[in-house]
Amino acid sequence: MLLLAMDTATPAVTAALHDGSSVVAESSRVDARRHGELLLPAVDRVLAEAGVKLDAVTGIVVGVGPGPYTGLRVGLVTAATFASALGVPVHGVCTLDGLAYAAGLDEPFVVATDARRKEVYWARYADARTRLTDASVDRPDAIAEQVAGLPAVGAGALLYPQAFPDTRGPEHVSAGALAALAAEKLAAGEEFLAPQPLYLRRPDAQVPKNYKVVTPK
């Protein structure tokens, strides 16, 4: 087994290789505006570090979000392209689940990432492997009662300390954690999410409804 994992649902552009037992190479960089520029070089770096070619990969793991429209689709399109070219499966994993897995907590907690617009993408967990709620997008003050008293993981929690006073690491998702979680799920015969974007809301950029026509008649 050699899994190539990637995630671009958050400002972290991250890629990793996992051989079924451990992470053999990983590259991450935090840059909210350059997902398209940074992902393929990250993949090249992990392949070079591991000393393997792309055709050695037996499966693709990709974070499906939730996340902003532009960044999220970079990872999903790249994953689908690699899977098609190599003839290997692509496994979707909720990005929040990757953060939860990396946190490694064995108590109830919440994961929150930055959704912009003064909102967070979030979900509650019983432990690092058990999500209790669907991923949602809300203003922190609207969910303060639901998350009260719970440790919180992720960059979204750090942005709103009034709602998430007890913050824990990690701040950003890791492709290594996604890959390790996927390897566990494969070994256990568990199902994966479809490699489709989990947006939860409409994209920020939209075509104006009543735009002015400037072309000649």
- Residues 6 or more apart from 57 whose CB is under 8 A from it? 2, 3, 4, 17, 82, 86, 88
* DSSP at 101: H
Length of the chain: 217
- Region 135-142 average pLDDT: 97
Task: Report the C-alpha gap between 149 and 137 in whole angstroms.
Answer: 20
| Residue matched to tokens 């954690």 | 177
Strands 109-116 and 90-93: unpaired
- Region 202-217 average pLDDT: 54
pLDDT reported for residue 70: 84
pLDDT reported for residue 69: 84
Of the candidates 170, 135, 155, 172, the one whose C-alpha atom is nearest the C-alpha of residue 14 is: 172
Of the candidates 61, 100, 6, 63, the one whose C-alpha atom is nearest the C-alpha of residue 198 is: 63
What integer best gives the mean pLDDT of the chain? 93
pLDDT reported for residue 140: 97
Helices 175-188 + 95-103 axis angle, to 10: 90
- As a whole number of Å, the end-to-end CA separation of the chain is 61
27, 46 in Cβ contact below 8 A? yes
- Residues 6 or more apart from 203 whose CB is under 8 A from it? 68, 69, 70
Give kind and range of the element (H or E) at residue 126. strand 119-127
- Region 23-30 average pLDDT: 97
Handedness of CA 62, 63, 64, 67 (dihedral sign): negative
pLDDT reported for residue 205: 46
Give kind and range of the element (H or E) at residue 59. strand 59-63
pLDDT band of 48, cuts 50, 70, 90 = very high
Kindly state the tokens that stand for 99: 């953060």
What's the half-sphere exposure (Cβ side, CA atoms, 13 Å) at 70?
Answer: 10
